[in-house]
Amino acid sequence: LMEGAGTVALEIAQRLADVDAVIVNVGGGNLAAATAATMAALQPRARVIGVAPANSPVIADSFHARRALVIPPVETVADALAQHETIAFTMTVLWRYLADAWTVDDPTIVSALRMLLEWAHMLAEPSGVACLAGAWTHREALRDQRVVLVVTGANATVAQLQQALAAPPLA
């Protein structure tokens, strides 16, 4: 699974030179781990940052604690990213290659979904825009950098889209 997910970073590295940061959604961690390891090999200067929902912080908290934690998730709009425990091998790769792990709250994720719809005319599911929510939250730290967001999944429900359209814009 991780090797397949690494092809995302392979395409990024082949198409874009001098990437400063790649921001990727984090559920179980395989996509983030594969992206981080691949970018380390192909563009070692690029930082890879994982973003998880604040209501399911087990991967981000385990990353920062440098040990595997068990944290039951609570309901989150980014349900495809909800996890309660880590995978040992995945965490080993994340600890070695991931630059940072952030969490974002549900209202920011919903507003990011709205932003993607309005500005880019792209449809993604809430879990797929956690990276955009993270980039927006940390936009000052990313200013003047070449940043790639790995937006995933198009399984948004009508209710989620209605929620996004009713959400305030990111501010």
Task: Write out pLDDT tens, residues 116-130.
Answer: 999 999 999 999 999
Q: What is the pLDDT of residues 16-58, one digit of tens each?
A: 999 999 999 999 999 999 999 999 999 999 999 999 999 999 9
pLDDT for 120:
93
Q: What is the pLDDT of residues 51-104, one digit of tens each?
A: 999 999 999 999 999 999 999 989 999 999 999 999 999 999 999 999 999 999
**Does residue 1 register a pLDDT over 80?**
no
pLDDT for 3:
81
Would you tell me how many other CB atoms lie within 10 Å of the CB of residue 141? 11
Phi-psi region of 16 (alpha: psi -120 to 50; beta: other; left: phi over 0): beta
**Does residue 171 register a pLDDT over 90?**
no
Angle at 98 (CA atoms; ends 25, 85), nearest 5 degrees: 60
| Strand (E) or helix (H) holding 25 | strand 21-25
pLDDT for 6:
86
pLDDT for 170:
84
pLDDT for 158:
93
What is the pTM for the complete model shown? 0.94
